[in-house]
Structure 1
Amino acid sequence: MDGGYKQVIRVRWLRRGLRFLGWRPDSTTHQEKLISALGTTLALILLYWVTHLVMAAEGALWVTGSMGASAVLVFAMPHGTLSQPWSVIGGHVLSAAFGVACIQWLPAGFWLAALAVGGSVIIMMYARCLHPPGSATAMIVVLGGPQIAEAGYNFVLYPILLDVLVIVLFAVLFNSLFTSRRYPLPLTRHPVGRAPGIAPEDFEHALKQMNAYMDIDFNDLLRLVELANTNAQSKGVSAGDLVAGGYYSNGLPGRNWSVREVLQVVSRPGRAGRVRYRIIKGAGEGGNGICRVSEFVRWARYQVAPDEQGRQWHRVTDDSKASVEP
């Protein structure tokens, strides 16, 4: 076994390990990342100031912690279902109210904070406002000290309700400044057509079978499939499209997907042309081969190009625009 093949094996296992841990390629631009960070920063500065108007410094710091987590969701994932106004407002307010009920009606103990978090999860799921930072608010109520305990249910109104309203209103204003964002989702909606062969009822059935919480709006899911199907039906690769140094994908899902780099295209008058290639991504990675041009064209679905880091592949279209390779 030569050193090059060993290196390929190590890289392959490293990628599998990262994927198992949940690492995924990121298709967002640098601008989008900076916008998310700016929105979060400005929102927290505003929240810190508002909270200090109604609470002493120590109590305000406790509250700002869970609100900071909400700001990350609202400004970094404004299209997610966990980030929508009802999730933010209902999640924090109901969880805070449950936390206050725990400290007022149950004896103190090491288990009380855990009960507050677990109970808040049930309440939020049934109220359809699941918001992870809300459970942090329930824990803050239990562990936040005498100032929060003495405030009782007034703490739910000031500063919890006040803070979440500030986050939501600021998120609506801030995200409206950018055409790529919409918050909340109903403000702007892409027209959703019917994906070929797939109806909304099919998605409903599939989601029920999966029995898992999906952090994506239903209409966005339909739109995603519609765009993917439209892209899949566009023109494929022809013999004239093959160039040395070009990358081509078979467009298959899952483990069958692969990318080949064309090393050489040999044209032979009166005889079938040949293509020499190597497999640089996906199934058969590290291998190489030679085949007829006609055979390669049947295999290739479209031409692709890597991103700047070489981690993600994008489809190359006629108008030089790229869409993300699944």
Structure 2
Amino acid sequence: MQTRWISRLLPAATNTRPTEWSRAAIGVSLGTLFSVWVCSLMFGLPVAMHLIGPLGASAILLFAVSSGALAQPWSIVGGYLCATLVSLGVVHFFGRTLDTACLAVGLALVCMCLLRCLHPPAGALALLVVLADPDSASLGWGLLAPVMLSAVCMLLAALAYNNLTRVRYPKKAAEPDPAFANPPVPGDPGITAEDLQKALEQMDAFIDVTPEDLEALIRSSEHYARRRSVGEVFTHSG
């Protein structure tokens, strides 16, 4: 039992090649540099540097795991917008303290969930907006401008770099595959995209995967399963 518990703490395989790590690393560096540089031109280096933490975290999502639901365009734009507005509202009514910063990140999470734009780096942004440095705090509600400028710049960088390096972004909904919904075995109702969506909803947890990705994964698994089954038939018959 103890061995099984410890094994859960071990990292799972990433299933990606070193070339993909390198591609993503270059994109993360370029995307963060571009976002901070543009922000510094418009609002000064101190404000841009204050936002660099959440931007770096967003860059990892947008360039390294761009197929995830948390890395899609509405996630970063909506997440940054929610976090900033909620945090500025908390500052307006309750001031800038550690307690209000923690309150802001919690409220930002609720807001992001309601608007379907959950983006983890926006949690760090909510804390930074409340516990802002003097240059950023002096902007007041105007802090929304550099935040959204940085988010849009990061998104533009991800759109350009990912597609230029042959990684489709943003994630597009997969075309319905009739073969996927048809029963592979008489009496078997098969699995549809709607079934996967309902299954995800019943999980009652945050799962960074789309029904389209699950459908593609199941289709691919069935393909390899059929190949294995055919290979076993030939092996036994030989």
TM-score class normalised by the smaller sequence:
0.7 to 0.9
Bigger helix fraction: 2
The residue aligned with 1:216 is: 209
Runs (4 or more) in structure 1 with deviation over 6 Å come to none
Distance 2:232 2:94 in 1: 69
Q: Bigger radius of gyration, 1 or 2?
A: 1
Distance change in 2, residues 1:172/1:18 (3 Å):
farther
Q: Which runs of 5+ in 1 are unaligned?
A: 1-11, 242-293, 298-326
Q: 2:61 aligns with which of 64, 70, 73?
A: 73
Contact 2:46-2:135 at 8 Å conserved across structures = no
Contact 1:103/1:149 (<8 A) preserved: no
- Pairing partner for 1:92 from 77, 80, 89: 80
Question: After the TM superposition, which residues 177-188 of structure 1 pair with which residues of structure 2 at under 5 Å, given as runs?
Answer: 177-179=164-166, 181-186=167-172
Secondary structure at 2:117's aligned position in 1?
coil
Aligned-residue sequence identity (percent) comes to 33
After superposition, the C-alpha distances for 1:273-313 in whole angstroms (9 at most, x for unaligned) are: xxxxxxxxxxxxxxxxxxxxx7xx9xxxxxxxxxxxxxxxx
Equivalent residue for 2:231, pick from 228, 232, 236: 236
In structure 2, relative to structure 1, the CA distance for the partners of 1:174 and 1:52 (3 Å cut) is same
Equivalent position of 1:146 in the other structure: 134
Q: Using the TM superposition, give the Cα deviation of residue 231 of structure 1 relative to its aligned residue in structure 2, in angstroms.
A: 1.8
Cα separation, partners in 2 of 1:88 and 1:22, compared to 1, 3 Å: farther
1-structure distance, mates of 2:191, 2:50: 47
Partner residue, 1:306: none
The alpha carbon displacement at 1:191 in A equals: 5.7
1:95-114 equivalences in 2 (<5 Å) = 95-114=83-102
- For these two proteins, the number of residue pairs brought into alignment is 226
- Does the 8 A contact of 1:192 with 1:223 survive in 2? no
Counterpart amino acid of 2:168? R
Higher relative contact order (CA 8 A, sep 6+): 2
Name the Cα RMSD after superposition: 2.2
Higher strand share: 1
- Report SS of the residue matched to 1:216: coil
Q: Which residue of 2 is the match for residue 176 of structure 1?
A: 163
Distance 1:107 1:42, change over 3 A: closer
Structure 2: segments with no counterpart, 5+ residues = 185-189
- Which one of the candidate residues 184, 189, 200 is aligned to 2:193? 200
Counterpart for residue 41 of structure 1 = 29
Letter in 2 for 1:222: E
